[in-house]
Amino acid sequence: MRSCSGIVVSWLLVVLAFFSWQIAVVAQPQQTPKTDPIEVAALNAIMGRWGLKASPEWNISGEPCSGFAIDGTDWDNQPNINPFIKCICSFVNNTVCHITRLRVVKLDVVGQIPSELQNLTYLEDLNLSYNYLTGPVPSFFGNFHLMKYLALSFNPLSGSLPKELGNLTNLVSLGIGLNNFTGELPEELGNLTTLQRMYIDSSGFSGPFPSTFSNLKNLNILIASDNEFTGKLPDNLGGLTNLQDLAFQGNSFEGPIPASLSNLTKLTKLRIGDIVNRSTSMAFISNLTSLNILILRNCMISGDLETCRFF
């Protein structure tokens, strides 16, 4: 039989080995996280196509996810850092960084949206507004499943809007106004149930307004003015009770203005007009007690406005 002293010595050796291993692990230098090489190649290709250079504020010694890209620098309050990226470096035990935000605004970039962009699969925020981007919005945008903020406004983008945008079910804000799109809005946009802001004004869209938009219960802002929408003014808008700003003027909708708009009691701004063929009653205004801006353009109003209560 083994003696008690032998057993004690054995356990001491085990304990010493365990603590020696822990000390060795702690003593190992922390590996600096690196940007995913696929994303580095994609970002470099995009910048090269557009004739842009990374800012030294976020591209230190050739590592994109460094400096302002990974520290606490506020994205929204640094508009002069442009182009700009933000990264998260907590992947694979804090050794890998993924690019989550990309801003290229008012830099006069031209040409189509680069195909390399599809390799930035961790994007949550993409802003390419106020440029000269042409051609269609690629269908691969539907693969950006983490996307929360998408802004493509003020570009001459064209073609039909891809139905794949309906896959962006985490989207909070969609800005595609002032482009040259054609065709109808995809019904699949009704899948964006987390959407709070939609800007689709002056974009060339035509046809009826999708009935699936009744699913967008979280919308606060819907700016859909100055397109070529036709058909009945959507009655289901009355179900979007979180709306605070609604703009529908400059289209070719048929009246009357639906009485269901009286349900939008949170509205502070209502711009509606250019309704053809039918006169409309303004009685619904009485319920809109938060309204402080009302624009009615080229409407045939029936009844007496004095019978409506304005607040």
Can you give the pTM of this predicted structure? 0.86
pLDDT of residue 301: 52
Domain 33-307 has CATH 3.30.750.210: no
Q: Looking at residue 11, what is its pLDDT?
A: 45
**Pairing, β 158-159 against β 180-181:** parallel
Per-residue pLDDT of the chain (311 residues; tens, 9 = 90+): 445 445 433 444 444 444 444 434 344 456 789 999 999 999 999 999 999 999 889 998 889 999 999 998 888 888 889 999 999 999 999 999 999 999 999 999 999 999 999 999 999 999 999 999 999 999 999 999 999 999 999 999 999 999 999 999 999 999 999 999 999 999 999 999 999 999 999 999 999 999 999 999 999 999 999 999 999 888 889 999 999 999 999 998 887 888 899 999 999 999 987 776 555 667 778 889 999 998 876 655 554 444 334 33
Residue 263 phi, psi dihedral angles, 5° rounding: -80, -15
Residue-level pLDDT at 199: 98
Sequence spans of domains, the chain: 33-307
* Whether the Cβ atoms of residue 165 and residue 186 lie closer than 8 Å to each other: yes
Residue 13's pLDDT is 42
Residues counted in the chain:
311
* DSSP state letters, 14-63: HHHHHHHHHHHHHHSPPPPPEE-HHHHHHHHHHHHHHT----TTT-BTTB
The pLDDT of residue 77 is: 87
Sign of the C-alpha dihedral, residues 164, 166, 168, 169?
negative
Strand partners, 223: 199, 247
